[in-house]
């Protein structure tokens, strides 16, 4: 089927004026007669004319498009962050392209290269759990493509970052468990190279130290894979002798805690009577399962908006911009998977 989309040439023919005059009128050039400009705009609307964004971007070296890479769009935390980004980006005249790495380093690299090939004006990345090398992101910086990292970040790159206070959130979660009488608290974390896992582990250890509880290395778990391994590792902890078994589980995030809760139910282990469980992120389903999950809530929508704000600040003064880390507060949400104080 022939493409019937209106062009600048169509407007020029209809008005019997030159193509260059139409082009200048659409750009708002001051040297175009006001009546001519009005006629051009009216005809453009009548013909449903849409400007060629590709041609425009080549001319002005800007696409007004931002690239976003997250591990999993299906997780509420990331979909909420993307919503905040889109809201703020739209306010500043940008559209967005969204990719997901599915926790794969190779897929994340492919996403970065694809977005760069599409000439996005900036990139927003929450790294996969497999990402240990950052050369693909450094390449963006070498090409002067602004990068903002959010949630899953690294200290190895000098870029703007948006995170929550993972240490404080973890500290509050473990402190709550201690105040409910738990003493053998296990930490179910991610890879050792995983920034948020290490920050939350620090909060976990500092809470134990604050209450004079010696950490047990057997109860500190680092999972390399986050979908199936955590449940299997918890099963192993439950097979320890009764005096070595954990009486509480502090999980890296809700997507780990929720399958763990399901497994405990299948094994007829009562929560919180036999063991307490705490998550992190506050996925919507966490409040509706039985028992409802005690968790740490992150302001994901606001994190997304803040990431765009940092990009706008950087774009306004590239020469003097100093990469900053924006740290946002968390909130402990107490539900039924932990005992009452």
What distance in Å separates the CA atoms of residue 202 and residue 208, rounded to the nearest whole number? 10
The tokens of 249 are what? 């589980």
Q: Are residues 173 and 278 in the same domain?
A: yes
Q: Are residues 289 and 206 in the same domain?
A: yes
pLDDT of residue 193: 85
| 1 inside domain | no
pLDDT of residue 109: 98
Q: Are residues 120 and 45 in the same domain?
A: no
How many structural domains compose the chain?
Answer: 3
Q: Are residues 143 and 221 in the same domain?
A: no
Between 327 and 317, name the one with better pLDDT: 327
pLDDT of residue 1: 41
Domain of residue 263: give its range. Answer: 166-298
Q: Are residues 152 and 265 in the same domain?
A: no
* Least-confidence region, from 56-65, 102-111, 201-210, 259-268: 56-65
pLDDT of residue 320: 79
**Residue 322 sits in a domain of what CATH number?**
3.40.50.2300
| 244 inside domain | yes
Q: What is the dihedral of CA 95, 99, 100, 106, to 10 degrees?
A: -140
CA dihedral over 260, 266, 271, 276, signed as positive or negative: negative
**Residue 33 sits in a domain of what CATH number?**
1.10.260.40
Do 252 and 280 meet the contact criterion of CB atoms below 8 Å apart? yes
* Cβ-based neighbours of 229, under 8 Å, separated by 6 or more: 223
Average pLDDT over residues 42-55: 77
Given a cut of 60, is residue 2 above it in pLDDT?
Answer: no
The tokens of 204 are what? 């976990």
Q: Are residues 71 and 148 in the same domain?
A: yes
Q: Are residues 290 and 310 in the same domain?
A: no
Percent of the chain with pLDDT over 90: 81
Given a cut of 80, is residue 57 above it in pLDDT?
Answer: no
**What order do you get walking across the sheet with 95-100 strand by strand?**
95-100, 65-70, 122-125, 147-150, 160-164, 325-328
| 60 inside domain | no
pLDDT of residue 201: 98
Q: Are residues 121 and 173 in the same domain?
A: no
What distance in Å separates the CA atoms of residue 287 and residue 116, rounded to the nearest whole number? 39
Average pLDDT over residues 126-132: 95
| 2 inside domain | no
**Counting beta carbons within 10 angstroms of the beta carbon of residue 154, is it exposed (0 to 12), middle (13 to 18) or buried (19 or more)?**
middle
Average pLDDT over residues 161-173: 98
Q: Are residues 19 and 90 in the same domain?
A: no
Average pLDDT over residues 11-39: 89
Q: Are residues 228 and 288 in the same domain?
A: yes
Average pLDDT over residues 205-231: 97
Given a cut of 70, is residue 264 above it in pLDDT?
Answer: yes
| 340 inside domain | no
Residue 52: pLDDT band by 50, 70, 90 thresholds? low
Given a cut of 90, is residue 85 above it in pLDDT?
Answer: yes
| 69 inside domain | yes
Do 176 and 332 meet the contact criterion of CB atoms below 8 Å apart? yes
Q: Are residues 187 and 272 in the same domain?
A: yes
Nearest partner of 168 among 193, 196, 138, judged by Cα = 196
| pTM for the predicted model, two decimal places | 0.82
Residue 284: pLDDT band by 50, 70, 90 thresholds? very high
Q: Are residues 170 and 294 in the same domain?
A: yes
Interval 172-200: pLDDT, tens = 999 999 999 999 999 999 998 889 999 99
Given a cut of 90, is residue 29 above it in pLDDT?
Answer: no
Average pLDDT over residues 218-223: 98
């Amino acid at each position: 089927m022939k493409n019937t989309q209106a062009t600048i040439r169509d407007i020029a023919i209809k008005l019997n004026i030159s193509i260059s005059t139409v082009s200048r009128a659409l750009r708002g050039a001051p040297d175009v007669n006001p009546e001519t400009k009005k006629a051009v705009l009216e005809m453009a609307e009548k013909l449903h004319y849409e400007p060629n964004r590709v041609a425009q971007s080549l001319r002005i070296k800007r696409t007004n498009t931002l690239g976003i890479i997250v591990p999993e769009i299906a997780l509420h935390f990331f979909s909420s962050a993307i919503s905040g980004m889109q809201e703020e980006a739209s306010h500043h005249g940008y559209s967005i392209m969204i990719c997901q790495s599915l926790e794969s380093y190779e897929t994340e690299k492919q996403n970065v290269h694809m977005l760069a090939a599409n000439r996005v004006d900036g990139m927003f990345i929450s790294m996969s759990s497999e990402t240990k090398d950052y050369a693909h992101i450094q390449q963006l910086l070498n090409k002067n493509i602004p990068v903002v990292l959010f949630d899953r970040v690294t200290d190895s790159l000098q870029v703007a970052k948006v995170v929550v206070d993972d240490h404080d959130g973890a500290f509050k979660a473990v402190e709550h468990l201690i105040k409910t009488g738990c003493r053998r608290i296990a930490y179910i974390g991610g890879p050792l190279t995983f920034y948020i896992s290490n920050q939350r582990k620090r909060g976990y250890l500092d809470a134990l130290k604050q209450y004079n509880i010696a950490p047990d290395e057997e109860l500190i778990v680092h999972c390399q894979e986050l979908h199936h391994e955590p449940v299997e590792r918890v099963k192993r902890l439950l097979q320890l002798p009764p005096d070595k078994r954990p009486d509480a589980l502090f999980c890296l995030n809700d997507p780990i805690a929720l399958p763990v809760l399901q497994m405990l139910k299948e094994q007829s282990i009562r929560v919180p009577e036999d063991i307490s469980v705490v998550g992190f992120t506050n996925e919507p389903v966490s409040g509706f399962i039985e028992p409802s999950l005690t968790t740490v809530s992150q302001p994901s929508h606001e994190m997304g908006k803040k990431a765009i704000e940092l990009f706008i600040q950087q774009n306004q003064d590239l020469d003097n911009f100093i990469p900053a880390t924006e740290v946002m507060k968390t909130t402990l949400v107490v539900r039924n998977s932990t005992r009452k104080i």
